[in-house]
Structure 1
């Protein structure tokens, strides 16, 4: 099993950062890559045409390994909302008149689907868990499967719920979508990098991930798997970099009408992103070395004492089967006020998030047993 990797980050020793789901700290290697990239901008005459493309290709290759797809199926984007809009613009309701999201979906996903439904004259169904259930996972997954029917055009769902940490059964959902002919779009922001993801096994049509959380990258860059259903799609932009002759700077005004094969047509303009791309490349290489399944196992063992303690004091923790162990959001017993507790924790340099009645604790390999013990001790007091 992995050991604590805090030395590979620049976190202050006295800080207990349990909030990776909010934003990840940069790796030292990513920080250094960004610094060196910035220095290189002093001398633009050193840039060669291939430099505009090779770094991007390396990132696409690494992300493909993380999610089990070819580099040609990976697109570079500035955000998840850009990714959702890129693929949804290429889906028409036709005879199917229903779209599905889950209750309290992250706003980027919800608003993207709301707009698509309005523009296509479709109904937007919001699926929630059984309100009477103490734990949400089982009923929520079952209700999602039941909601997907022959009238469903598209399902957009996060791989895990960003507020509660409930894990959705992507394999079953993907199979149901395939059976009824619905598009399956997944926001992988809160799991890819910390959990195993397989777009082929789960029959995902498009997967979009912001880079600044579990991919440990910088803000304002995202990566997406875009499957074969969209291989002839129309992108949001008409970037010169997405054309088949883009590497030949001497013939750009020949205006090749053909896009780069695969998902590359959906790349955002100025894809090279000479400063952030090397930073993301460094973080992806480190994740591949650690392996997401090992990160998940590390998180599971690390926060086990916290999960047990919350149960002991009368709180609620999701069942293991439906829990993403890197992001847990236990419901505290009624006598504990989440907002005031969060402030008390921050006074002692323990940082996490409050989401409704839940205390969201998101751990990564920079966390250690000391962080969990500190959190438990402060709750006790």
Structure 2
């Protein structure tokens, strides 16, 4: 596959091996330009129409809704972070003593701390589903353990679509069916999947989906998206800002205070959601993400990493079974013979960028990567193996 047209969208020098989109995506040239244009626009505020506080945000919601296969963009809120979105969800859930909130082992902190606080408040319990110790059928066994953990005590299941360190893929459809049996809420963190892995709200119907916008959605750091289902239609937002209220677009009438919120998820939108700089950058980013399609991203990432995955396994690295992991992001447990400090130094010297999360070295790729990037990583690893 010719990726030159994709690489041309970025400013990534040929000597840089960037396998770290899961941490922070590079910006498209178009996103950078949109941000600069917006900065310049702010220098002339008299040229900014009042409609710019609202219309671009509506367009942004529509684009994100398209990515997650959602018909009603009014169920989307623009937010500054995953922690903001999860805190909003937790604020609108009441538990009973003895209820459980099911989480995965070592999931991202932003999808843990709010649940810890909530269960402590209501004398409920966190139920952490640990990853199996088995080196074979690990993903299959983990999914089975999650299903077994959901029972009559379960009030909430909060999890990622994939595990952010290992890339383990969770069977959300089967888990959703089990949550429905027990009237439990399903809250998904899509930060490491949406945009790079097919996700359908229409098909899954989660109660909420929270996503960071600066990874696989290629937006600036400090932006995110949230889908809120019917359960949250009449909840309380984290903050009371003027844009969340009904008729807030009528600027001359703002002092005629409005007791009603805008419908659906609009009540949960963050203050200053119309940020000219961020919104313009996000719009450009989502335009490109939509044109690529998550399905194509997965296919390409699988293609360019397949040879390296085999080599890494032959070298003694543990990688989740192919049928139970994502291909844009996967973790490897390194052989004990590898000195991590020496390996990190070697990666730095060769301009290879990856993440180390928990027990894993995490590799994440996209259309700007090629098979040669993985070859470079494998050669670097071989050079430090005893």
TM-score over 0.5 for the alignment? yes
Name the counterpart of 2:356.
354
CA distance in 2: counterparts of 1:49 and 1:242, whole angstroms: 16
Cα displacement (A) at 1:340: 2.2
Instruction: Report Cα offsets for 1:54-95 as digits up to 9, x if no partner.
Output: 111111000001111221010011110110010111111147
Q: 1:115 aligns with which of 111, 114, 117?
A: 117
Q: Is the 8 Å Cα contact of residues 35 and 278 (structure 2) preserved in structure 1? A: yes
Alignment of 1:245-256 (within 5 A): 245-256=247-258
Q: Is the 8 Å Cα contact of residues 96 and 124 (structure 2) preserved in structure 1? A: no
Alignment of 1:77-88 (within 5 A): 77-88=79-90
CA distance in 1: counterparts of 2:359 and 2:76, whole angstroms: 37
Cα displacement (A) at 1:262: 1.1
Alignment of 1:53-64 (within 5 A): 53-64=54-65
Q: Is the 8 Å Cα contact of residues 189 and 210 (structure 1) preserved in structure 2? A: yes
Q: 1:380 aligns with which of 379, 382, 385?
A: 382
Name the counterpart of 2:212.
210
Name the counterpart of 2:193.
191
Q: Is the 8 Å Cα contact of residues 242 and 248 (structure 2) preserved in structure 1? A: yes
Instruction: Report Cα offsets for 1:292-317 as digits up to 9, x if no partner.
Output: 11011111111111111012222222
Instruction: Report Cα offsets for 1:140-195 as digits up to 9, x if no partner.
Output: 11111110111111111011111111111111111111121011101110111110
Cα displacement (A) at 1:322: 1.0
Structure 1 pair 200/2, CA: closer, same or farther in 2 (3 Å)? farther
CA distance in 2: counterparts of 1:54 and 1:341, whole angstroms: 49
Cα displacement (A) at 1:332: 2.2
CA distance in 2: counterparts of 1:329 and 1:241, whole angstroms: 41
Alignment of 1:300-319 (within 5 A): 300-319=302-321
Cα displacement (A) at 1:134: 4.2
Alignment of 1:283-322 (within 5 A): 283-322=285-324
Name the counterpart of 1:244.
246
Unaligned runs of 5+ in 2: none
Cα displacement (A) at 1:123: 0.7
Q: 1:266 aligns with which of 265, 268, 290?
A: 268
Structure 1 pair 336/347, CA: closer, same or farther in 2 (3 Å)? same
CA distance in 1: counterparts of 2:287 and 2:48, whole angstroms: 23
CA distance in 2: counterparts of 1:345 and 1:250, whole angstroms: 58
CA distance in 2: counterparts of 1:368 and 1:360, whole angstroms: 17
CA distance in 2: counterparts of 1:343 and 1:159, whole angstroms: 32
CA distance in 2: counterparts of 1:165 and 1:248, whole angstroms: 46
Name the counterpart of 2:14.
13
Q: Is the 8 Å Cα contact of residues 134 and 316 (structure 1) preserved in structure 2? A: no
Name the counterpart of 2:168.
166
Cα displacement (A) at 1:139: 1.3
CA distance in 1: counterparts of 2:204 and 2:323, whole angstroms: 17
Name the counterpart of 1:67.
68
TM-score under structure 2 length normalisation: 0.96
Query: Is residue 176 of structure 1 aligned with residue 178 of structure 2?
Result: yes
Name the counterpart of 1:42.
43
Q: Is the 8 Å Cα contact of residues 2 and 294 (structure 1) preserved in structure 2? A: no
CA distance in 1: counterparts of 2:185 and 2:16, whole angstroms: 43
* CA RMSD across the alignment: 1.4
Q: Is the 8 Å Cα contact of residues 330 and 360 (structure 1) preserved in structure 2? A: yes
- Count of aligned residue pairs for this structure pair: 381
Instruction: Report Cα offsets for 1:205-263 as digits up to 9, x if no partner.
Output: 10111111111110111101111110011111111101111111111111121111110
Q: Is the 8 Å Cα contact of residues 159 and 188 (structure 1) preserved in structure 2? A: yes
CA distance in 2: counterparts of 1:351 and 1:236, whole angstroms: 36
Name the counterpart of 2:28.
27
CA distance in 1: counterparts of 2:156 and 2:75, whole angstroms: 20
Cα displacement (A) at 1:2: 7.3
CA distance in 2: counterparts of 1:192 and 1:339, whole angstroms: 33
Where 2:276 maps in the other structure, the secondary structure is: coil
CA distance in 1: counterparts of 2:212 and 2:138, whole angstroms: 25
Alignment of 1:336-347 (within 5 A): 336-347=338-349
CA distance in 2: counterparts of 1:356 and 1:99, whole angstroms: 23
Q: Is the 8 Å Cα contact of residues 98 and 123 (structure 2) preserved in structure 1? A: no
